[in-house]
Amino acid sequence: MSIVEHHIDLAAPRISEAGVADYIALLKPRVMSLVIFTALVGLVMAPGHVHPVLAFTSILCIAVGAGASGALNMWYEGDIDAKMSRTANRPIPRGRVTEPEALAFGMTLAFFSVMTLGILVNWYAGGLLAFTIFFYVVIYTMLLKRWTAQNIVIGGAAGALPPVVAWVAATGSLSVEPILLFLIIFFWTPPHFWALALFRNDDYARAGVPMLPVVAGPDATRLQILLYTIVLVAIAVAPWPLGYFDAVYGAASLILGAGMLVLAINVYRRREGAEASRATRKLFAFSIFYLFALFATLLLEVVVRAVAPWIW
């Protein structure tokens, strides 16, 4: 059963009325903003000087690549999106953009983002961006999402790669720091999306997506959220004692990590009624702030060191 129904007269040629706003919606702008931010952090943390034009080009290509992934994801998931209240307003289920149009749009953006990054910056970064798009669209969207409850755990790798792509764009090589950034986002993804899945359980069940709460039940999901949050907090703090990030980051990761842990414990303990729903929504909202604040601390550190090195 679909939440939205649209009927197209097959006898008449279909002429698109899709506007620019519909195509922008295909890019998943909110996801893209997080990608831009994490990639920016990866870029500014990279050692050495990157010319601002090349830095801008790198971030633009990564952003467009993320947008391409979003469009290709919506192309493939039109049937699922129509069944979920959260996604029923997307351009394809609403009938504003057809699936072939979304496919063409996504493929064009993917091609240009990868080729531009490769030609103008370096081919390591271009190749890694191509792999990221491939991983998100083929591995996550086409293979994992409808097949296993571990979909967002493995698929989370695609969302964790943008800072690595940016680092490689800036340096032409890989190092421990971008891998740490990758691990933080990778382990952040399960508690974030499972919190969402807990209060959108009916949506996912209706669409037949085997999210953990649908397959294993809410209680097993609450335990998994808590376990992944413990691992996340440990991994996020670790770069400080290991000497990769400094004490200000260490303090921020401890305070923010404590917040995540308290909220995850709350989700684990409160299992019934409005309190349970409130706890999962709080964790979901705070997890976004957590990642943003953690990366903002790293960004701030680099900026302050460059502008006023005596402060930091």
Q: Pick between residue 23 and residue 188 the one whose CB is nearest to another protein.
A: 23
Exposed/middle/buried for residue 13 (C-beta within 10 Å: 0-12, 13-18, 19+):
exposed
Q: Residue 214: in which H helix or E strand, if any?
A: helix 212-215
Task: Compute the least distance from the CB of residue 18 to another protein, in Å.
Answer: 6
Under 8 Å CB-to-CB from 142, ≥6 apart: which residues? 76
What is the CB neighbour count within 10 angstroms for residue 255? Answer: 10
Task: Compute the least distance from the CB of residue 121 to another protein, in Å.
Answer: 8
Q: Which spans of this chain sit near another protein (rule: CB under 8 A)?
A: 12-13, 15-20, 23, 51, 53-54, 57, 60, 112, 116, 119-120, 122-124, 172
Q: Pick between residue 141 and residue 171 the one whose CB is nearest to another protein.
A: 171
- Helix ranges (H only) for 216-272 are 218-237, 247-269
Task: Compute the least distance from the CB of residue 71 to another protein, in Å.
Answer: 14
Q: Give me 200's structure tokens.
A: 């959108």
Rounded distance, CA 158 to CA 186, Å? Answer: 9
Task: Compute the least distance from the CB of residue 113 to another protein, in Å.
Answer: 11
Could you say which DSSP state residue 14 is in?
A: P
Task: Compute the least distance from the CB of residue 180 to another protein, in Å.
Answer: 24
Burial code of 172-198, b = ≥16 C-beta within 10 A, e = fewer? eeeeebbbbbbbbbbbbbbbbbbbbbb
Task: Compute the least distance from the CB of residue 20 to another protein, in Å.
Answer: 5
Q: Pick between residue 116 and residue 280 the one whose CB is nearest to another protein.
A: 116
Is the CB of residue 121 less than 8 Å from the CB of residue 61? yes
Q: Pick between residue 24 and residue 251 the one whose CB is nearest to another protein.
A: 24
Q: Pick between residue 12 and residue 274 the one whose CB is nearest to another protein.
A: 12
Q: Give me 180's structure tokens.
A: 């740490």
Rounded distance, CA 43 to CA 50, Å? Answer: 8
Q: Pick between residue 57 and residue 266 the one whose CB is nearest to another protein.
A: 57
Q: Pick between residue 13 and residue 309 the one whose CB is nearest to another protein.
A: 13
Q: Residue 195: in which H helix or E strand, if any?
A: helix 176-199
Task: Compute the least distance from the CB of residue 123 to another protein, in Å.
Answer: 4
Task: Compute the least distance from the CB of residue 296 to another protein, in Å.
Answer: 28
Nearest to 287 by CA among 247, 232, 220: 232
